[in-house]
Structure 1
């Protein structure tokens, strides 16, 4: 498939892609708030600046775009037809950074939770994933006391 935009127009489009307040992130925020979870947004004092942080459970929630973070096996993670080497390297750097952030969070006793854009259609599924992690975190706290 040939790109119908000029390189300059494509660059302009890509520069407008936001990393905060995205549709998928807002969907997660609404679902968790309705379910009674309370969280903080974009805590810069936590490695990776998670999209949401649930202090009660020490959960750092990241809402990953399938394309930008290279979601394995997802149709949304397909590389563009042009400049494939550039995009492959960029996405590999993102994945390496994500692994480093997850390790740093684990060292601090914070549980990283990754929610993929393609799995956010069902509000109940979002709440189930967070509930499972919160339950595990609560159980771990009970064992250490």
Structure 2
């Protein structure tokens, strides 16, 4: 089994630390990547962290996870979580397990955020723990919980 975990981040997550810190916290995506790299090493895993503002790129990366034999994908699809049937279909099309990750808890926010197309196909959802949501998701992969 591969030790590679893809960590895919969607639109506006490049602005973490600046964008609505009262909701998303003050930790930047680069800081999350550093924390995850350290934790992955401790767990005997390797991460490949990526961010895009483009839906089709996320679909391509999900396909790449399958083709490259990744152990799992951690996916914070941002707003695409609530709008993208293309991501739902891509997750359903691959055997690689996907963990849905959210910094905030979408169920406590605007009603349109209560629907998660990503969650309809994800093996697990981790939400509402700020930057620690990524670590919790990575540890679930390491423990074989997905």
TM normalised by structure 2 equals 0.44
TM normalised by structure 1 equals 0.45
The structure that has the greater radius of gyration is 1
